[in-house]
Structure 1
């Protein structure tokens, strides 16, 4: 009798699944860190955009001051503070608590 067996043995399948499991255990934590950093970068870009908007309002719309306010964007609360630091120079600072549990502050300046 001539038996022709086609397919994988149980041990071959177990080895392949264990290799796949080890790869998944190393890739998933790395992807989680990368995703968290991407969210942080988006938050920083949003903060810089808020600073730019406030400075543009002050420069071109001829407002004398920009009031302090809190802005909620996608679940992140940004605290905007502005003050005149020199003759016709405005400083706008944004502080927020990031999704990675760190506090951030960014400032921008404009002069008329």
Structure 2
């Protein structure tokens, strides 16, 4: 008598094909999620920097000079943005994903 134990070669090959297809879809998605998480970290850091500069400029009355900050390998540059009714500061940077970003923070003119 012959005992049937284990899986056949065809069953193993089908399992490997399904596993390979699943992995080939999941890996690029994981990489994209990691890139987006990094860009969110960069944006939060930019917001912290611009809030600090805004506080120093408008509350502590420290004169604003064009500033450049380098944090975690990313260069953030801060510029003055003026409109008739608003004063503001804008921060711009190029993320690790090679996209350009800019965020502005405004205050009402007196």
TM surpasses 0.5 = yes
1:13 is aligned to 12
Describe the superposition over 1:49-90 as per-residue Cα deviations: whole angstroms up to 9, x where unpaired: 111111111233232x22212111111110112366669x64
Describe the superposition over 1:11-69 as per-residue Cα deviations: whole angstroms up to 9, x where unpaired: 11111011000001111112222211111111111111111111111233232x22212
Unmatched 5+ stretches in structure 1:
none
Residue 19 of structure 1: SS of its match in structure 2?
A: helix
Task: Note the aligned Cα RMSD (angstroms).
Answer: 2.1
CA contact (8 A) 1:91 1:110 kept: yes
2:95 is aligned to 98
Whole-angstrom CA distance in 2 between matches of 1:62 and 1:38:
35
Q: Which runs of structure 1 show a deviation greater than 2 angstroms over 4 or more consecutive aligned residues? A: 58-62, 82-87
CA contact (8 A) 1:55 1:110 kept: no
TM-score for the superposition, normalised by structure 2? 0.83
Give the number of equivalent residue pairs. Answer: 109
TM-score for the superposition, normalised by structure 1? 0.82
Whole-angstrom CA distance in 2 between matches of 1:86 and 1:71:
28
